[in-house]
Structure 1
Amino acid sequence: MRHVAISSDLWTQARAAAPPRPPKPTSGDSRSFRGDIEGMRAVAVLLVLLGHAGVRHLPGGFVGVDVFFVISGFLITGLLLHELDQRGRLSLTDFYARRAKRLLPAAATVLVATLLLTYFLLPRGRWSTTAWDVIASACYAMNWRMAGESLDYVAANDAPSIAQHFWSLAVEEQFYLVWPLLLIALGWFARRRGRGGRGLYLSGLALIAIPSFAWALHVSPTDPSSYYVTTTRMWELALGGAVAVAATWLSRSSRLVAVPLAWGGLIAVCASAALIRTEAGFPGYAALGPTLGTAAVIAFGPAAGRAGPALLLGRRPLLYIGGISYSLYLWHWPLLIAAQAHFGDLSVGAGLAVVAVSAIPAALTYHFIENPVRRSPTLAARPPAALRVGAVCTGAAALAGLAFHLVVPSTTGPAPTSTVIMGQVPGATTQAAPPAAPGAAALGSAPRTSRAGVPVDRVASITPEPVTAAKDTPLSQTSKSCHVELESSTPRTCVYGKQDATTKVALVGDSHAHHWLPAAQAAAEANGWRLVSYTKSGCPFLAAEISLNDRPYSSCTEWNTRVREALLGEDRPDIVITTHAEYPVMGASVPNRQPALIRELRNTWNTMITGGVPVVVLRDTPLHLKDVAECVSKNPNRLTKCATPRAEATGRGGGPAQEEAVKDLAGAHLINLNDWICPADRCAPVIGGVLVWRDAHHLTATYSTTLAPQLGAALKPVIAKL
């Protein structure tokens, strides 16, 4: 599920006393209550909620965030301009006091409730991460945390954060740290020149919008973090601000022009939610539909009158949903994630039920927290007091997150042990299973008939602890000394085993190659080989360009070029070991993805073979549809619930394409060790006392280490023929 969050906005005090149905708009004053805008808020939040619930016909429900950014930019800028017109100056204290009253009490309430939901319903493995997410959300920095997570391939495979919807609130508040200061400067300059300030304000917004939109166009096609960062989102808020600056002029538009443009804007928003199927490219060209559509509704609504979208958007149900939209969004996402964690993947009907239930705490929060604080005469008369209330709310939420991290135990038992193998470069370490946990060795020489591989409900002990399994990775990835992350295209290598060995082996590929590193390293040590690792997150050993998150993965293509040059250079290995997950080749249609991948794999491997370097393909490991470690942590006495049918698990991932690509390719050898990973008809989550999987598709480093004898035995005949 894509996570989006609503923009919060400030209505004036008149909003609280607004009539239930909108009067015919006659002016461009953004301070007057606009039923069509309140209805647009309802449309936007409904798109987001229905999209999160999994409604198939709204794949682009995430465009609701773009709608809210434009609305917020319009309303906030309108309030600031009114204050400048009336008083000739802006009070930053008053401005931030209003925002503190509007945002922080409800946000703090939901964040504390989120920690309670986490404690009672989420697996312990998520507790620590959730605590830090709450702290980041309370401090309005969640968007930067999400941007970093989007570039972390391992984190990208984790379950969605229960607090990640706070990212767009962070974007907004960061924008409003800049915009009032710029308005003050422009207003001062306008007074000095003795000129009206509207043209200067538009210029100021252009100074923000044009570079921001240009940057969004530049980075959004290839960089998934661009979805979250403030620099690519400011143009959307600035667009709403520009409509507020020009509101008086726009309100004089001809009704013949205004009516079709306003309706066209509403249609553009809804069509975007129905037709846009990927977040790739956001917030670039693809975001113009919902943003310009929203701007059209706001800009031409007054001139269109009741012949415009206000006819629909001013209905009582939409007005009420728009009124509670901030609280509704704050509540619906934590409840969805908690329900998903407790009950498993939700059907569309179940998701819609959770969304409907979230209206109850949302309405209570709106009526008993939002409105009382926002309408408080004491806080209205004393802005510093309102700021103190906001500071208390922020501090309470942040301290609650910190206390949850420090006080509530998120693990049980010791962390996995690690041992250092002599003769390696710094940072090149591996993890070893304790002697009491034999792992794959428990299967003996006939794993398919061994009872040790049959799933059972309970085992005496599990290594590593399921709640810490996500960290049971080859330590080179943890220290980032050798494994290359998503954004980098520069190969980094680590050397293992015997430095002056006559047999030189290279391990090359993505994180699925990397999770074999402990086994390959131990095999190299045992057989006197020299092992060099070349691994990169989400990047198979492939000459063709692939897509990642529906974007061209250009850093992978560059990395591959450099790796091939190294492998065919002076220090070439005697053999290359490679494996990978399944990836779409750029330009290949969905039905042709696997044939295209097979073709490109053969081309890449043939290049190595022609250059004198044989290729060993490690058949990809089984792929589950659930996080196995998380399932085990939730079901320690019913481990069979975490067992996936072997035929299903081995039929997914990169394995089928690898088997086809290696056929009749001289110089390429296929090694399939899945009998020691999933030996029975269902894949046991624990074998020989060792947890096999750290997530849905990566081996734990501990179990990988126990596969070293099998990997070494399979490689010896191939190496002997060199």
Structure 2
Amino acid sequence: MSDHGRRFTYQPALDGLRALAVAAVLAFHGGVAALPGGFLGVDAFFVLSGFLITSLLLAEHRATGRLDLVAFWGRRVRRLLPALLVVLVVALLVSRRLLPATEIGALRWDALAALGYVANWRMADRDGDYFAATGSPSPLQHTWSLGIEEQFYLLWPVLVAVLLGWAAGRGDRHRPDGAGPRRLLLVTAVGAVVSAVTAAVLFSPGSVDRVYYGTDTRAVALLVGAALAALVATRTPVADPSPATRPRVPHPVLGALAALGAVATALLWTTADGGSRWLYRGGLTVAALATAAVVGHVVLSPRSPTARVLALPPLVALGRISYGIYLWHWPLFQWLTAERVGLTGGALLGARCAATMIAATASYLLVERPIRRARRLPVRAGAAVTATAAVTAAAVAVFATVPPALAPAPPVALDATAAGAAGPAASGSTGPGSAAPVPPVRRPGRPPGKPRVVFLGDSVSWSLGTYLPAQDELAVTVRAVQGCGIARLPELRYVGDPHPNYPGCDRWDERWRRGVRSDAPDVAVILLDRWELMDRKLDGRWQHVGDPAFDRYLTGELDRAVAVAGERGAHVTLLTAPYTHRAERPDGGLWPEDEPGRVDAWNRLLRSTADRHGATVLDLNRRACPDGRFAWDAGGVRLRSDGLHFTPEGVGRWIAPWLLPQLYRIAVKGG
């Protein structure tokens, strides 16, 4: 509760409320279907923080007539930063081994943003990096809420000091009702309204990141808590009233408000959706007011049934370590996947929660409590220790996340005769160069030269084409567009949530056509492996590959894709989509777009399209998944970086020796 109890009475029931809030967050992140709105537990923390911090500031001002802001900020740093530093260092070191190389750079910036307590703005602006925006959730993603709280801790005390100093300067400080708290109440009420209106104005159905992570749009909960503190202060002229002397407040009114708040909270936690319009147009404000009603009842009626229930020892104990639970739960939930621990559903959630409790308890006993109790640590020494720890964490963020250097892949020898003998279905052709060199390819409208191959498709095609080793006998260009498949239907679901098409994806055929006309390729390679497998709304209902109507829609787009790719006379080559394991559902299951059945259905469409157009099909799925199921490794190398995209070493050492000779044969022999 308080860093120095002589100024503000400890309320065990508020720790109990913390426990319920963090339990809701864990249940939400653990995929508990009954709590789709459990993420609002964070808003309960915001209300508590706003109330407690403002109460501390008002109590200190009443007791001393001033606010020691440096001391206040020092206590906040000592309370919050050490445990965060430990999490940052561990997360960075573990992620170096577990995260794909394509996401390490983004994690480095996530760590630095968390260290600077601006992670919320970092998370609101990740769309500029496709792999970060669509990749696995950052193990530091949850630090966004810490950023908002720390920004509040930095700015709010200054405003409170100004308002209280203004009231004191007018001779109001010793008035029993307290003009300062009344002015503060007015400011917080206006600020909460402004925050709520800002969220409503900035909300966009296609992307909620700005309003979900923004300090201005989420400050409503903090300001509601601060307003409650100011309201309570106008009713309690004594700086630190004990439960025995605190003015009695009618229980029926407070009890009714608390009951209404509890019911509203339960409804929101069991029904809210993070992408709902109503949530950002009043819903967050209702959630904050509901929590504030419970907090107000607990504080002003400490002997009420509400306070007694929330003060039960198990809840209080959980609430005391709630900060560590919140810090550790998210990275541990990301690391303890169903694939790694062999558990799903309730068993997986239980294992994750147990690991979180162990880590949080250790953090509380070994880091948080000892540092908080070391009150005699000199200010300069404390500052030096904190600065050293912060610099260490920053250094880890910079150096521990630098991916190791990789040895270049060996060159692939190409030979038209050998490659032709291997055939397009061969799974291990290397095309040894024993025959005479093939003369330059001659095509109308372009000078003679080595065969040209262009890669079209999405980010999987981009990773494959980009990581192919350079060849003297073959010119390869990559026109694949990250984030864009060929399905244009605007309403889709990505890892269970609504997701818009990226800008320009509805004009993919125009972008492909420009690339084909510019390159004049001999072979046009098409690889599509994600966006066509997702649920999309067609004819007013959600459908996916394998549904007859959706298959007809995809077939029409595939026909157009083949026509555009072969517009300049290139031989079109379709690569089958490999099985994927991009992300797990919170309960450990697969998201629909990762289901093998959908991949098989898509590959059947590819083959039927190839038959109609005389195109070639190369079975990349068989090469990438030789055992008939998703595989991270093949041929003794790491093949997938993130369960979807290919690694440079996997392409260079396993796929290129199989693929390039076949493309070379098709280019020089025409199929």
Place the TM-score, normalised by the shorter chain, in its bin. Answer: 0.7 to 0.9
Structure 2 matches for 1:261-660, cutoff 5 A?
261-276=257-272, 284-285=280-281, 287-288=284-285, 290-302=287-299, 306-307=303-304, 309-337=306-334, 339-340=336-337, 343-344=340-341, 346-347=343-344, 348-367=346-365, 369-378=367-376, 385-386=378-379, 388-389=381-382, 392-400=385-393, 402-403=395-396, 406=399, 414-415=405-406, 417=408, 433-435=409-411, 445=422, 500=446, 508-518=456-466, 533=479, 535-537=481-483, 539-547=484-492, 549=494, 553-554=499-500, 556=502, 558-564=503-509, 577=526, 579-581=528-530, 582-586=533-537, 592-594=543-545, 595=547, 597-602=550-555, 604=557, 618-625=574-581, 651=596, 656-657=601-602, 659-660=604-605
1:601 aligns to what SS in structure 2?
helix
Q: Shift of the alpha carbon at 1:128?
A: 8.0
Structure 2 matches for 1:149-168, cutoff 5 A?
149=126, 152-156=129-133, 158-168=135-145
The corresponding residue for 2:239 is none
**Root mean square deviation, CA, Å:** 4.9
Distance 2:348 2:629 in 1: 28
1:699 pairs with 646, 650, 654, which one?
646
Which residue type is aligned with residue 234 of structure 1? A
Which residue type is aligned with residue 239 of structure 1? V
Please say if residues 201 and 245 of structure 1, whose CA atoms lie closer than 8 Å, have aligned partners that are also in contact. Answer: yes
2:291 aligns to what SS in structure 1?
helix
The corresponding residue for 2:205 is 221
Distance 1:129 1:571 in 2: 32
Distance 1:528 1:360 in 2: 56
The corresponding residue for 2:662 is 710
Distance 2:339 2:607 in 1: 42
Which residue type is aligned with residue 646 of structure 2? L
1:618 aligns to what SS in structure 2?
strand
Please say if residues 454 and 516 of structure 2, whose CA atoms lie closer than 8 Å, have aligned partners that are also in contact. Answer: no
Please say if residues 619 and 655 of structure 1, whose CA atoms lie closer than 8 Å, have aligned partners that are also in contact. Answer: no
Provide closer, same or farther for how the CA distance between residues 212 and 102 of structure 1 changes in structure 2, counting only shifts above 3 A. same
Please say if residues 212 and 232 of structure 1, whose CA atoms lie closer than 8 Å, have aligned partners that are also in contact. Answer: yes
Distance 1:141 1:329 in 2: 17
Which residue type is aligned with residue 262 of structure 2? L
Please say if residues 249 and 300 of structure 2, whose CA atoms lie closer than 8 Å, have aligned partners that are also in contact. Answer: yes
1:45 aligns to what SS in structure 2?
helix
Provide closer, same or farther for how the CA distance between residues 671 and 343 of structure 1 changes in structure 2, counting only shifts above 3 A. closer
The corresponding residue for 2:175 is none
Please say if residues 67 and 294 of structure 1, whose CA atoms lie closer than 8 Å, have aligned partners that are also in contact. Answer: yes
1:14 aligned to 2:5? Answer: yes
Distance 2:92 2:516 in 1: 53
Structure 1 range deviating more: 295-304 or 108-117: 108-117
1:259 pairs with 255, 267, 272, which one?
255
2:643 aligns to what SS in structure 1?
coil
Provide closer, same or farther for how the CA distance between residues 73 and 97 of structure 1 changes in structure 2, counting only shifts above 3 A. same
1:240 aligned to 2:233? Answer: no
Q: Shift of the alpha carbon at 1:243?
A: 2.0
Q: Shift of the alpha carbon at 1:44?
A: 0.9
Please say if residues 509 and 578 of structure 1, whose CA atoms lie closer than 8 Å, have aligned partners that are also in contact. Answer: yes
2:25 aligns to what SS in structure 1?
helix
Please say if residues 558 and 609 of structure 2, whose CA atoms lie closer than 8 Å, have aligned partners that are also in contact. Answer: no
2:479 aligns to what SS in structure 1?
strand
Which residue type is aligned with residue 93 of structure 1? V
2:41 pairs with 64, 83, 87, which one?
64
1:38 aligns to what SS in structure 2?
helix
Which residue type is aligned with residue 216 of structure 1? A
Provide closer, same or farther for how the CA distance between residues 179 and 138 of structure 1 changes in structure 2, counting only shifts above 3 A. same
Q: Shift of the alpha carbon at 1:73?
A: 1.1
Provide closer, same or farther for how the CA distance between residues 263 and 670 of structure 1 changes in structure 2, counting only shifts above 3 A. farther
Q: Shift of the alpha carbon at 1:207?
A: 5.7
Distance 2:251 2:35 in 1: 32
The corresponding residue for 2:241 is none
1:246 aligns to what SS in structure 2?
helix
Distance 2:428 2:452 in 1: 37
Please say if residues 44 and 65 of structure 1, whose CA atoms lie closer than 8 Å, have aligned partners that are also in contact. Answer: yes
1:233 aligns to what SS in structure 2?
helix
Please say if residues 513 and 578 of structure 1, whose CA atoms lie closer than 8 Å, have aligned partners that are also in contact. Answer: yes
The corresponding residue for 2:439 is none
Which residue type is aligned with residue 579 of structure 1? L
The corresponding residue for 2:437 is none
The corresponding residue for 1:631 is none
1:309 aligns to what SS in structure 2?
helix
Provide closer, same or farther for how the CA distance between residues 156 and 603 of structure 1 changes in structure 2, counting only shifts above 3 A. same
Q: Shift of the alpha carbon at 1:352?
A: 1.8
Which residue type is aligned with residue 84 of structure 2? A
**Unaligned ranges ≥5, structure 1:** 1-9, 16-29, 380-384, 418-432, 454-496, 628-647
Please say if residues 321 and 360 of structure 2, whose CA atoms lie closer than 8 Å, have aligned partners that are also in contact. Answer: yes
Q: Shift of the alpha carbon at 1:93?
A: 0.9
1:94 pairs with 71, 83, 108, which one?
71
Q: Shift of the alpha carbon at 1:198?
A: 4.0
Distance 2:170 2:156 in 1: 21
Structure 2 matches for 1:13-32, cutoff 5 A?
13-14=4-5, 31-32=8-9
Distance 2:137 2:107 in 1: 10
Provide closer, same or farther for how the CA distance between residues 141 and 660 of structure 1 changes in structure 2, counting only shifts above 3 A. same
2:422 aligns to what SS in structure 1?
coil
Provide closer, same or farther for how the CA distance between residues 205 and 663 of structure 1 changes in structure 2, counting only shifts above 3 A. farther
1:258-304 CA distance string (max 9 Å, x none) = 32331232233344333345567797355456433212212344566
2:67 aligns to what SS in structure 1?
coil
Provide closer, same or farther for how the CA distance between residues 84 and 354 of structure 1 changes in structure 2, counting only shifts above 3 A. same
Please say if residues 437 and 688 of structure 1, whose CA atoms lie closer than 8 Å, have aligned partners that are also in contact. Answer: no
1:663-690 CA distance string (max 9 Å, x none) = 5797696744324444554566555676
1:48 aligns to what SS in structure 2?
helix
Identity of aligned residues (%): 31
Please say if residues 93 and 401 of structure 2, whose CA atoms lie closer than 8 Å, have aligned partners that are also in contact. Answer: no
Distance 1:235 1:311 in 2: 28
Which residue type is aligned with residue 330 of structure 1? L
1:433-461 CA distance string (max 9 Å, x none) = 422799xx9997257675789xxxxxxxx
Please say if residues 51 and 226 of structure 2, whose CA atoms lie closer than 8 Å, have aligned partners that are also in contact. Answer: yes
Q: Shift of the alpha carbon at 1:177?
A: 1.9
Distance 2:168 2:323 in 1: 37
Please say if residues 559 and 609 of structure 2, whose CA atoms lie closer than 8 Å, have aligned partners that are also in contact. Answer: no
Q: Shift of the alpha carbon at 1:308?
A: 5.0
Structure 1 range deviating more: 660-669 or 584-593: 660-669
Please say if residues 12 and 316 of structure 2, whose CA atoms lie closer than 8 Å, have aligned partners that are also in contact. Answer: yes
Provide closer, same or farther for how the CA distance between residues 663 and 299 of structure 1 changes in structure 2, counting only shifts above 3 A. farther
Aligned length: 604
Q: Shift of the alpha carbon at 1:46?
A: 1.7
1:1-57 CA distance string (max 9 Å, x none) = xxxxxxxxx525228xxxxxxxxxxxxxx9433333221101011222344445454
Provide closer, same or farther for how the CA distance between residues 159 and 527 of structure 1 changes in structure 2, counting only shifts above 3 A. closer
Distance 1:100 1:448 in 2: 62
1:554-596 CA distance string (max 9 Å, x none) = 562x413455556679996888956341233247888623346
Structure 2 matches for 1:114-193, cutoff 5 A?
134-149=111-126, 152-156=129-133, 158-190=135-167
Please say if residues 36 and 272 of structure 2, whose CA atoms lie closer than 8 Å, have aligned partners that are also in contact. Answer: yes
Distance 2:350 2:70 in 1: 41
